[in-house]
């Protein structure tokens, strides 16, 4: 079988993306963080971050087609990803570890037109993740006057984002990714205190610590979701949006 996929997770260092694009101009890029309905191989403990489970399940499902995996392992991703990168190496993958911990030299100059746009939240998150590879400009997007904020990473089940009104502003890791600094703690933890915000993490992710802390600090709503949001989580978001 022809290998034609460049797989990655998180936000690999920009120059590595550029170099790999030049090296494999016809390759398809697959984000292993995203659930593509690969069979669950149950390689990880039951109570573990579903995004890391996705990485394993997707990588092994696509193994015959993957040329190499660009594997962020720094503060821009997490320790679990580092362990996954080592284990996948042992499983025979070509794994290029990357660390993207650059910090923004001037926070007043960061550009996040997607995060601040009036698009539906799901479209925003999809666009931000897609743009990791595409690197297009979105300055033309109409900016929103947001009633709510969403803080966090792209959820495993994107249907969660349909519960938010259009124009919900994006904060957290997604915003840091759009800004081009996925490991910049200051961007990741920035929240507009005037915008009621829902702080989301995947269950069993170390970012739950940050989300809970920030939710208390900014009087927002903390939610953690494992695979998909249950009725309780949906109702909590709905109530927060109706009452706030």
Partner 1 sequence: MEIYVDAGTTWTKILKVSENEKKYEVIPTRDLKKLDLNPKKATGHSIIQAQNYENEVVALANGAKKYLEDDFIALDLGSRDIKWVKYKNKKFQDMDWNSSCASATGATVEMLLKFYNVSVSDLIYTKEKYSITCGIFGLEKIMDDVSKGLEPEIAISKFVHGIAYNAYIFTKSPEKICISGGFCENKCFIKCLEQYCKVVPLGRFVLVDGLEMLINQD
From the CB of 225, what's the least distance to partner 1, in Å? Answer: 10
Q: Give the length of the chain.
A: 244
From the CB of 240, what's the least distance to partner 1, in Å? Answer: 7
Q: Under a CB-based contact definition with an 8 Å cutoff, are residues 159 and 167 in contact?
A: no
- Site membership for partner 1, residue 239 (CB under 8 A): yes
Q: Considering beta carbons, is residue 126 or 226 the nearer one to partner 1?
A: 226
- Site membership for partner 1, residue 192 (CB under 8 A): no
Counting runs of H as helices and runs of E as strands, what totals does the chain give?
8, 8
Residue with tokens 């009621």: 196
| E strand or H helix at 225 | strand 221-225
- Interface with partner 1: number of residues (CB under 8 A): 13
Q: Considering beta carbons, is residue 41 or 235 the nearer one to partner 1?
A: 235
From the CB of 218, what's the least distance to partner 1, in Å? Answer: 11
Q: Under a CB-based contact definition with an 8 Å cutoff, are residues 197 and 150 in contact?
A: yes
- Tell me the two tokens of residue 216: 């208390």
From the CB of 16, what's the least distance to partner 1, in Å? Answer: 40
For residue 61, give every residue at least 6 positions away whose Cβ sits within 8 Å of its Cβ, in sequence order, or none.
36, 38, 39
Q: Considering beta carbons, is residue 11 or 148 the nearer one to partner 1?
A: 148
From the CB of 244, what's the least distance to partner 1, in Å? Answer: 6
- Site membership for partner 1, residue 244 (CB under 8 A): yes
Residue with tokens 């949006």: 241
Restricted to residues 203-232, the positions that interact with partner 1 (CB under 8 A) are 219, 221, 230-232
- Tell me the two tokens of residue 107: 């926070």
Question: Interface residues with partner 1 (CB under 8 A)?
Answer: 219, 221, 230-232, 235-236, 238-240, 242-244
């Amino acid at each position: 079988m022809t290998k034609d996929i460049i797989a990655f997770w998180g936000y690999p260092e920009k120059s590595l993306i550029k170099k790999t694009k030049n090296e494999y101009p016809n390759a398809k890029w697959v984000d292993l963080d995203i659930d593509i309905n690969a069979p669950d191989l149950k390689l990880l403990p039951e109570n573990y971050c579903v995004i890391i489970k996705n990485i394993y399940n997707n990588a092994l499902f696509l193994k015959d087609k993957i040329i190499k995996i660009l594997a962020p392992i720094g503060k821009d991703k997490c320790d679990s990803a580092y362990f996954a990168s080592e284990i996948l190496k042992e499983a025979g993958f070509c794994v290029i570890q990357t660390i993207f911990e650059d910090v923004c030299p001037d926070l007043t100059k960061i550009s996040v037109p997607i995060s601040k746009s009036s698009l539906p939240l799901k479209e925003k998150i999809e666009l931000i993740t897609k743009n990791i590879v595409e690197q297009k400009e979105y300055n033309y997007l109409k900016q929103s006057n947001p009633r709510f904020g969403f803080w966090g990473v792209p959820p495993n089940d994107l249907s969660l984002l349909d519960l938010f009104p259009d124009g919900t502003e994006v904060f957290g890791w997604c915003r840091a990714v759009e800004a081009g600094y996925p490991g910049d703690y200051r961007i990741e933890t920035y929240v507009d205190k005037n915008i009621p915000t829902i702080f989301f993490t995947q269950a069993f992710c170390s970012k739950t610590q940050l989300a809970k802390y920030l939710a208390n600090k900014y009087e927002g709503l903390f939610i953690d979701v494992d695979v998909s949001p249950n009725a309780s989580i949906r109702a909590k978001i709905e109530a927060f949006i109706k009452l706030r």
